[in-house]
Structure formats: structure tokens, C-alpha cells
């Protein structure tokens, strides 16, 4: 793999694990997040993993801010020359709440980060990839983008939007050499899910962990491996696909 990969929300959880998997392959990495301290620590870790094979740079950027996203891609192009793969990973959670009691501000923030953030980054990436003759976009959706997700309806709406963006754009850009896919994880053991579990009683926690027939949370490495495969030429005929990684939950 001789690509430059840009990952948003890279400082934690699935994004951080994806960065480490790409670093193992010596891929150049443009890592972005709102958490600068964790982002810079990840740069050190990726440099250590790749043993100097990867060029790794961190950019602080809030994906819900269009101007910041434009600046992120401008800076990354300046530093790397090209972005071949975008991993659109930044996303925020949604404390389980009945829809009619949910604060509008929470829904609006979910739309801003989980939908507008994905949209802005896709647009910037497509504009950069098209003159280059190809590229690869991997959006991080969720099983909540494929089926009902009671108590997190607003989050579920944003992930359905990510699935829609993925499929429509994949068809639009296929003949232009750009593959666009999504991964749809169930509950994965990241800081995001740990924060959600902390707000639940024991029964609620058991229902989350037991939601998969495998009776465990997924591991960030299990999602990172799928992301790296989708980014590779081994997945060259995979396009417009929303890959469920859920231990069989939706089977």
C-alpha cells in the first residue's frame, strides 16, 4: 500500500486503531481530530509502529466546521501532495433518551458532526481525488444506520444519512475511479461506548454487551482490519457497500 490516508476523529477508538493498522503497513497518515493532545500522542505511536516508514502528521480540525475542513485538506495536500484514502470516522454519541424528551441541541449537534462533517470531508476528498484519477472513501456508519435503534433515534437518523451518502456517491463516482464504502459496526469497545455504558444500570449494560450473538462488544481492531482491507486493492470490486461488523447481531 503506497497511499496517503486521511482519518478524521483519529485520536480515539476506531480511528486511532485504524491509524495504527495503516502504520503497520507503512502508509503515510494525515491524522485529524479536535483532541490535539491525544492526536499528537497517536502520531508518536504510529511513528514507533511504522519504524519511520510512514510520514505521520496531525491536524486539529472540527469536522462540523466547513472552513476548518477546507483548511485541513489544504494543509494535508500541501504536506502530502495527495490524499488517496479518506476514512470519515469522526462522530459523536447520543445518550439514550426517548425521542420526545431529547434536547433539540443534541440532535442538531449529531447532524452537524455525523452528517455535515461526513459531507464536508467527502466533498473536499472528491475534489482532490477527481483530478488525480481515483481514490477511496470509507465512511464509518453504524448498524444504527441500517435498522431501528430505539432511544437513540437522532443518532440513528444521522447514520442512515451516512449510509445514503455512501451508496449514492458510490454510484455517482464509480466510473471516475473512486470507490466509496461504509462500515457499520455494532457496539465496539471504545471510549464512546464506555461513556454510554457508564450512564446505564447493570441491566442496560448487559443488554448492550449481549446485543450480539457473540455476547461481547466488538474490538476496535476488528473494525480497523475491515477499514484497511476496504482501502486496499484487494477490495477493488467492492463499491457502494455498507459492511456490517456486528458479531451476527443483524443476521
Position 8 contacts ligand NAP (CB under 6 A): yes
Answer yes or no: are the C-beta atoms of 54 and 27 closer than 8 Å. Answer: yes
Q: Which residue, 55 or 189, is less far from ligand NAP as judged by CB?
A: 189
Q: Kindly tell me which residue out of 13, 135, 154, 247 binds ligand NAP, with binding defined by CB under 6 A.
A: 13
Interface residue with ligand NAP among 4, 5, 6, 12 (CB under 6 A) is 12
Find the binder of ligand NAP among 5, 6, 11, 165 (CB under 6 A).
11
Separation of alpha carbons 211 and 161, rounded Å = 23
Strand partners, 86: 6, 137
List CB contacts of 174: < 8 A, sequence separation 6 or more: 239, 240
Active-site entry in 94, 120, 155, 173: 155
Q: Give 68's DSSP letter.
A: H
Tell me if residue 59 is catalytic. no
Q: With H, G, I as helix, E, B as strand and everything else as coil, classify residue 16.
A: helix
**The one among 30, 140, 170, 228 contacting ligand NAP by CB under 6 A:** 140
Any contact of residue 166 with ligand NAP (CB under 6 A)? no
Applying CB under 6 A, does 33 fall inside the site for ligand NAP? yes
What letters, b where the CB count within 10 A reaches 16 and e where it falls short, cover 17-56? bbbbbbbbbebbbbbbbbeeeebeebbeebbebbeeebbb
Q: Which range, of 45-53, 74-82, 85-93, 229-237, touches ligand NAP by CB under 6 A?
A: 85-93
Residue 191 as a binder of ligand NAP (CB under 6 A): the answer is yes
- Alpha helical stretches, state H, the chain: 13-24, 36-50, 66-80, 104-110, 117-129, 153-173, 191-198, 202-209, 220-231
Q: Which residue, 63 or 161, has its beta carbon nearer to ligand NAP?
A: 63
The only residue of 89, 110, 136, 166 in contact with ligand NAP, by rule CB under 6 A: 89
Contact residues for ligand NAP, defined by CB under 6 A: 8-9, 11-15, 33-35, 62-64, 89-92, 113, 117, 140, 142, 185, 187-188, 190-193
Active site amino acids: 155
Amino acid at each position: 500500500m503506497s497511499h496517503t490516508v486521511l482519518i478524521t476523529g483519529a485520536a480515539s477508538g476506531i480511528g486511532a486503531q485504524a491509524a495504527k493498522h495503516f502504520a503497520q503497513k507503512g502508509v503515510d497518515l494525515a491524522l485529524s481530530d479536535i483532541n490535539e493532545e491525544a492526536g499528537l500522542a497517536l502520531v508518536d505511536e504510529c511513528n514507533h509502529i511504522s519504524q519511520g516508514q510512514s510520514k505521520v502528521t496531525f491536524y486539529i480540525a472540527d469536522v462540523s466546521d466547513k472552513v476548518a475542513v477546507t483548511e485541513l485538506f489544504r494543509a494535508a495536500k500541501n504536506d502530502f501532495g495527495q490524499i488517496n484514502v479518506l476514512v470519515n470516522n469522526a462522530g459523536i454519541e447520543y445518550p439514550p433518551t426517548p425521542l420526545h424528551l431529547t434536547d433539540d441541541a443534541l440532535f442538531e449537534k449529531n447532524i452537524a458532526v455525523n452528517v455535515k462533517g461526513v459531507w464536508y470531508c467527502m466533498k473536499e476528498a472528491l475534489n482532490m481525488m477527481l483530478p488525480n484519477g481515483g481514490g477511496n472513501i470509507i465512511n464509518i456508519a453504524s448498524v444504527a444506520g441500517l435498522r431501528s435503534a430505539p432511544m437513540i433515534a437522532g443518532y440513528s437518523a444521522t447514520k442512515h444519512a451516512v449510509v445514503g451518502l455512501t451508496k449514492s456517491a458510490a454510484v455517482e463516482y464509480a466510473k471516475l475511479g473512486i470507490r466509496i464504502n461504509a462500515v457499520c459496526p455494532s457496539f465496539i469497545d471504545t471510549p464512546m461506548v464506555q461513556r454510554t455504558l457508564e450512564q446505564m444500570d447493570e441491566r442496560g449494560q448487559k443488554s448492550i454487551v449481549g446485543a450480539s450473538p457473540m455476547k461481547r462488544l466488538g474490538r476496535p481492531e476488528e473494525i480497523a482490519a475491515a477499514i484497511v482491507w476496504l482501502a486496499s486493492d484487494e477490495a477493488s470490486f467492492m463499491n457502494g457497500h455498507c459492511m456490517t461488523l456486528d458479531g451476527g447481531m443483524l443476521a
